[in-house]
Structure 1
Amino acid sequence: MSVRQVMAISQQIRANFEARGAVFGDEGRVRYVGQEGDEDQAGVDAVLEEGLGWVARSPRETLTIAGDDAIPWLQGLVTSDLMGLAEEGRGQRTAWVSHTGRFVGEARLLHFPEMLLVDMEPGTLAGGLMSHLRRHIILEKVTLNDRSAETFVLGLYGRGAARVLAQCGSWAHRMAPGSLNMFSGTWGQLAGRGVVVQRVPWSPEEAFELRLDAGDVLEVMKAVEEAVGRPLSMCGEAGFERLRLAAGVPRFGVELHEKVIPLEAGFEDAIAYDKGCYLGQEIIARLDTRGTPAKMLRRVSLEAGEAPEVGADVEALIDGEWVKKGELVSVARDVGGALYRGLVFMKRGAYEVGQTIRVGEVSGELEALQSLPGA
């Protein structure tokens, strides 16, 4: 496809999204849909109350890893056990870490025929992961292909998503959307267009993300909405943040970065302790067996008149006194009322679930992150 064709398709998608009320940022991401300040309320209501809504997820990064040595090579670089992906359609969350055990990247893997599909946050590859991966290819037969530019990612979230996908699509893989475990996927045809579907944890309700060619996006959306019998509301970045914080799932580039060890961020599901050596394993294994993390990521719910400021101090009630013990790293308004959902990093001695904390004058209790299936 020529550059001119790609630009024309992008303009068509943008015009359709803008007709739905989408407002774009400079990076090409939908910031919000509707009025500024309502934080995608219609889209969030569509997902959580009406049971079905679109979530604008592009731009994303899509990497494919193929070759005779792809699995054993990658096995030595990631924290999860890739033997859990032996069957096509299986998926898992994983992390790349440095020799000090801290995040280099984080992704969702999917075993697609003859390759792994890797979904990542924008900027992960250019931010150091691609050079990290290439540096560790010595003589192995491994091919890395960045397919981000030609792949569009669209979320269909809500309790009715699996049923609608099953109704609209013809899935070549034996697993229908409704039977997918977390991170697993299927692929086939929807509106005569090739689509890859993966189940993701970004919402309190069921959530699926569709990977397809940009030129097929509008036809696929049209087919889904015709099956539903009405247009579907859409979320941009604002609504997505509200959904994922309500679900209690951290995000690379926000809570997860080069200063964080996976164990500090609830990534137990993505760490395999018995698979053998991988880069950074020694630090993670030592922390797991000999000590406690210096900090831990926790969820918190706060009843406040306005959103607390990201970066605000978090105090813990210890022996009857308020002591500074953490930081609010993300926050978004919940689906209703004056409740805000956030994620906080708390220091050792004050990160147990149930610990009473406060941000400013607003108090609450620490909650666990969403529990995800293990690697």
Structure 2
Amino acid sequence: MELLRQIQQEMGAILDSETQIPLSFGNDERALIAAKEEVVLCDRSNWGLLKLTGEDRLRYLHNQSTNNFNQLQPGQGCDTVFVTSTARTLDLATAYVTEDAVLVLVSPQRRQQLLEWLDRFIFPFDKVELSDISTEYAVFNLIGKQSDDFLTKLGLQSVINQPENSHQLVNFDNNIIRIAIGNGLALPGYTLIIPVAEAAACWSKLITIGVTPIGDRVWSQLRILQGRPIPDQELTEDYNPLEAGLWHAISFEKGCYIGQETIARLNTYKGVKQQLWGIKLTAPVNPGTLLILEGNKVGILTSCTNTSEGNFGLAYLRTKAGGIGLQVQVEDAKGEIIALPCLTHEYYS
């Protein structure tokens, strides 16, 4: 990883003093455009990568999170949510099923907590082993419309047009890496899971063929513009995954799992009292600011970013207050509720 960081700094990267991942390459405004229209490369190696092995691994994850692991085969994957017994949100994760393990990509803020959480529920009779392999791999994202074109340049056409979160091992410039479809956003792209020893070479190869690097600041802007909730902002124990718009990561057909009773009841009785939405603002506003409608509190802003196209944020809004198009006051700014591609709000029947 030291070599990777050296290469990134030579490209102009400003590294975070704690995580050492690039915050910016000095190209933020240009990179944000490239992420939508071209293809960019983002280093997410600070995210956690947990590994579960043992013959009960799928059953175990099936019982510990919201999605249906029992139906997954090697080469498939899914988004899933880890919740408390009362369905309060811990994290949105992505799992990849291999021939002999399940790899679970988790948010950096929840890596240690989920490691301890999952370990606590492994009982002596469970044939499951849990390990943290975060330091053994680098995680990169390709993001943008031209992602397929660049994989084609690298001779990796077999990955293209596969189902979301499916994955395979490929020979990338004489290095064996895992490529998964999707990048955690509602934009075209891929997730690359790369042994640390090959990380610098893979990064350099992608830059050489013309991929634009982005730092964590631009990824943070993209995730707000797309509606990807993250821990400590949208994903906290104040909210459940239905409120957070994570319906796509929940199976309503599977059996019992932690938090299932609460989630099923909320869906059955249409009991979601607040929902996460995008909000377009006339000025920057600090997260934590209340949304006001006709003098009444109807929600709270959780994230905000400024772009060349204006100010945008994420906010929880009371369901009874309204939805898309609603005009609210957010401190001195006016806000308009908008839909975002990562967020869904439909009840399952």
- The reply to whether TM is greater than 0.5 is yes
Matching residue of 1:135: 120
Paired with 1:351 and 1:130, the residues of 2 have a C-alpha distance of 38
Match of 2:196 among 210, 214, 239: 214
Q: Do the aligned partners of 1:58 and 1:152 also contact (CA within 8 Å) in 2?
A: yes
2:92 corresponds to 1:101:
no
Q: 1:20-67: CA deviations, max 9, x gaps?
A: 1111122224353244xx7x2232233223x12211212111111121
Number of corresponding residues: 345
Does residue 326 of the first structure (1) align with residue 299 of the second (2)? yes
Specify the alignment match of 1:344 in structure 2: 315
Rounded Cα–Cα distance in structure 2 between residues aligned with 1:368 and 1:47: 20
Map Cα deviations across residues 218-261 of structure 1 (whole Å, 9 max, x no partner).
211233344x3x4x332111100111112122123331122221
Identity %: 26
Deviations 1:145-179 (A, max 9, x none): 211011111122111112212331558xxxx3321
Shift of 1:74: 1.8
- Cross-structure match for 2:132: 146
CA 180–106 in structure 1, closer or farther in 2 if over 3 Å, else same: same
2:207 and 2:213 in contact (8 A); partners too: no
Q: Within the alignment, does 1:21 sit opposite 2:3 as a pair?
A: no
Secondary structure at 1:76 match in 2 = helix
Task: Using the TM superposition, give the Cα deviation of residue 202 of structure 1 relative to its aligned residue in structure 2, in angstroms.
Answer: 4.2
The CA RMSD over aligned residues, in Å, is: 2.3
**Residue aligning to 1:312:** 289
Which residue is equivalent to 1:283? 262
The equivalent residue for 1:262 is 241
Q: CA deviation at 1:208?
A: 1.4
- 2:67 paired residue among 64, 80, 95: 80
2:172 aligns to what?
190
| Aligned 8 A contact 2:244 2:343 in 1 | no
Q: CA deviation at 1:204?
A: 5.4
Partner of 1:69: 56
Q: Are positions 1:160 and 2:142 aligned together?
A: no
Q: Is this contact kept in 2: 1:108–1:119, CA < 8 A?
A: yes
Read off the aligned partner of 1:247 and give its amino acid letter.
Q
Q: Which letter does structure 1 place at the counterpart of 2:58?
A: I
8 A contact 1:43–1:54 mirrored in 2: no
Q: TM-score, normalised by structure 2?
A: 0.91
Q: Which moved more, 1:213-222 or 1:143-152?
A: 213-222
1:169–1:218 CA distance, 2 compared to 1 (3 A): farther
Alignment partners' CA distance in 2, 1:150 and 1:43: 28
Contact 1:55 1:240 in 2 (8 A): yes
Contact 1:170-1:188 within 8 A present in 2 as well? yes
Instruction: Indicate the larger mover: 21-30 or 88-97.
Output: 21-30
Matches for 1:240-251 after TM superposition, within 5 Å: 240-251=219-230
SS state at 1:273 partner:
coil
Measure the CA separation in 1 of the matches of 2:147 and 2:71.
26
User: 1:328 Cα shift?
Assistant: 0.9
CA contact (8 A) 1:163 1:178 kept: no
CA distance in 2, matches of 1:215, 1:330: 36
Whether contact under 8 Å (1:78, 1:94) holds in the other structure is yes
How does the TM-score come out when normalised to structure 1? 0.85
Q: Classify the secondary structure of the residue corresponding to 1:108.
A: strand
**Residue in structure 1 matched with residue 213 of structure 2 by the alignment:** 234
Q: 1:131 to 1:198 in 2, by over 3 A?
A: same
**DSSP 3-state at the match of 1:94:** strand
C-alpha contact 1:63 1:119 (8 A) present in aligned 2: yes
Q: Bigger shift: 204-213 or 115-124?
A: 204-213
Structure-2 change in CA distance of 1:288 and 1:192 (3 Å): same
2:259 is aligned with 1:274: no
* In 2: Cα distance, 1:269 partner to 1:109 partner: 14
Q: Runs of 5+ in structure 2 lacking a partner?
A: none
In structure 1, the gaps of 5 or more residues are 1-9
Contact 2:265 2:271 in 1 (8 A): no
In the TM superposition, residue 102 of structure 1 has moved relative to its aligned partner by 0.8
User: For residues 185 and 296 of structure 2, what CA distance do their matches in structure 1 show?
Assistant: 33
What displacement does 1:123 show? 3.4
